[in-house]
Amino acid sequence: MILLVVDTQKGCFDERLYAFETVRNNIKQLITIARENNVEVVYVQHDDGPGTELDKTADNYEIYEEFAPREDERRFEKGFNMLVPSYTNSTYDNPYFDKETAYKYYNEFMWGRRYAKIITVEQAIELLQG
């Protein structure tokens, strides 16, 4: 078993988050208990690229101080290089978003420009054809 601590960098882990105090305390508690019980703690960090708030050369890229990894704990950078053709994924209405809002949230906000490049189906076809 390992404890995976994901996206807890200074640039994205702060008071703007929903239930910040609760989340912060829970993560601290899990890290402490994992360490006390010899469970490996592994950190995964997100790099938004050069010149961004989460550039891996910036201070904001570092793990939030209260969760700081020990020297012997491993850190990994997310290595995303995904292409998502528009309208090749979909979803249903759910209690939080209608289906159109959910689609746009993931494709235009969450994935696009961060985790994946959103392209047209025609662009995908061109790439597949060489």
pTM higher than the cut 0.85: no
Cα 13 to Cα 19, 111, 124: the distances in Å are 11, 19, 35
pLDDT for 38-93, tens place per residue?
Answer: 999 999 998 888 888 888 899 999 999 999 999 999 999 888 678 899 999 999 99
Instruction: Please tell me whether residue 24 adopts helix, strand or coil conformation.
Output: helix
Strands (DSSP E) contained in 10-93 are 40-45, 75-77, 82-85
Place of tokens 């950078």: 77
In our burial notation (b when 16+ CB lie closer than 10 A, e otherwise), range 57-84 reads ebebbebbeebebeeebeeeeeeeeeeb
Domains of the chain, residue spans:
2-77, 82-128
pLDDT for 110-121, tens place per residue?
Answer: 887 777 889 999
Record: fold of 2-77: Rossmann fold (3.40.50)
The whole-angstrom separation of Cα 2 and Cα 41 is 6
